[in-house]
Amino acid sequence: MISSERIGRLRPLLFVMNDSAVDFCEIPIDSRNGKLADTFELFAREFFSAIGFRIIEAPARGPDLGRDLVVEELLVGKFVNEPKRWIVSAKHYAHSGNAVRESDEIDPKGRVDSAAAAGFIAFYSTLPTTGLRNRLTGLPTVQVEIFDSGRIAQYLLTRFELSSVFQQYFAKSWRRLHPMTERDLIASAETDPMRPDSHVVIELASLLSDARQKMRFADRRVEHAVVAAVLASEIGQGRLSLLERFISFEPAVWRCLVFFLQEQKPGAAIFASAITGTNDPFVLRNLVALAGSLQLKECAQAICERTMMCGRYDRAIAERGYSFGISGFSDVARRALSNLGESILPQLEHYQMNARERRQWKAKAIFERAITEIARRLRS
């Protein structure tokens, strides 16, 4: 195992992103000819839809001749789920660099009231002036959220569910930020860390190469650490598309990856959202295994929901030619759930009964075995 001192010397290799990485000028100005009209408003619609808002009304002309979008979020409580409606005012001044002024937002309170909304979202590709910010935040009985260029960029760079929106509307910025992870960064995988008895070699090329050069390491252990460092940086910031390049990991890479992520402590919400959202069985398998290794109890429900469909994922892995040598999704899910501890026992028992009622016997067996293993650890 690589020492923490040696891994520490590799930290400068981690990707560092900032707001300027997103060029809002890639979104065109309203051309008024119908071909490029209202692209920024359409971006706003896709942005809020991707992060979980329901689109109530598509962009429509408001009193200020701008385009208002009406969205709704669901506030989930212990006993009541209550929808909350927002007006989104999108202003795209990035090409001029001008701030959004008070005169650019006509009667925001009236627009909120006319839509029977509770809140106002300022969605700007630049910044609001101080006067406008004070005016909006001082609106009576209206909750205000300001998404300026910096906050929008932060969401695009860190939220997994916005990856496709980022690529669609900021293709050049995306390629600049992912020159290797999207095209040329290829993962090396030899044996399955979840199957220590496995010796099946998976034919994937060596890591960290591009069209100009190939990186070679005299010390194989350093290569493992660099691979893990790149992966941990991407995963920790919610950019999980790199996992699509992996079938499995070398055990040494896996150990380093878990080590890095334990130090970074990425939010469990990143993993839970990704586990819920991905359709690739191998990406799902790796995410579930990581959530289990990191003991992210908040991911229990997401893992249980996908476990209810475990047969589908096991078949998908087998159909792609990995019927042996690679742990199936069912086995990985069981190990992950068993590692999350006694606090998830009520959830496991609930899903066990649910699987029984639906006659999903494979899923039922997974929940039962996870319950048994947790109970055994408690006794010991």
On the question of pLDDT at 88 being above 90, the answer is yes
Q: Residue 200, class by beta-carbon neighbours within 10 Å (0-12 exposed, 13-18 middle, 19+ buried)?
A: middle
Q: How far is CA 308 from CA 237, 330, 352, in A?
A: 28, 10, 9
On the question of pLDDT at 9 being above 50, the answer is no
Question: Is the Cβ–Cβ distance between 68 and 55 less than 8 Å?
Answer: no
Q: Which residue has the higher pLDDT, 148 or 82?
A: 148
On the question of pLDDT at 345 being above 90, the answer is yes
- Kindly report, residue by residue over 15-57, the tens digit of the pLDDT: 333 446 899 999 988 655 544 457 899 899 999 988 889 898 8
Mean pLDDT on 330-343: 91
On the question of pLDDT at 371 being above 50, the answer is yes
Which structural domains are found in the chain, ordered by start? 1-15+179-266 (no CATH), 24-169 (3.40.1350.10), 268-380 (no CATH)
Question: Strand 143-147 vs strand 119-124: parallel, antiparallel, or unpaired?
Answer: parallel
Q: Give the confidence band of 317 by pLDDT, cuts at 50, 70, 90.
A: confident
- Kindly report, residue by residue over 96-122, the tens digit of the pLDDT: 999 999 999 999 999 999 889 999 999
Q: Which amino acid is at 52?
A: G
Mean pLDDT on 339-358: 92
Q: 3-state SS string over the chain?
A: CCCHHHHHCCHHHCCCCCHHHCCHHHCCCCCCCCCCCCHHHHHHHHHHHHCCCEEEEEEEECCCCCEEEEEEEEEECCCCEEEEEEEEEEECCCCCCCCECHHHCCCHHHHHHHCCCCEEEEEECCCECHHHHHHHHCCCCCEEEEECHHHHHHHHHHCHHHHHHHHHHCHHHHHHHCCHHHHHCCCCCCCCCCCCCCCCCCCCCCCCECCCCECCCCCHHHHHHHHHHHHHHHHHCCCCHHHHHCCCCCHHHHHHHHHHHHHHCCCHHHHHHHHHHCCCHHHHHHHHHHHHHCCCHHHHHHHHHHHCCHHHHHHHHHHCCCCCCCCCHHHHHHHHHHCCCHHHHHHHHHHHHHHHHCCCHHHHHHHHHHHHHHHHHHHC
CB count in 10 Å sphere of residue 241: 17
* pLDDT for position 282: 85
Q: Give the confidence band of 185 by pLDDT, cuts at 50, 70, 90.
A: very low
State the pTM of this model: 0.47
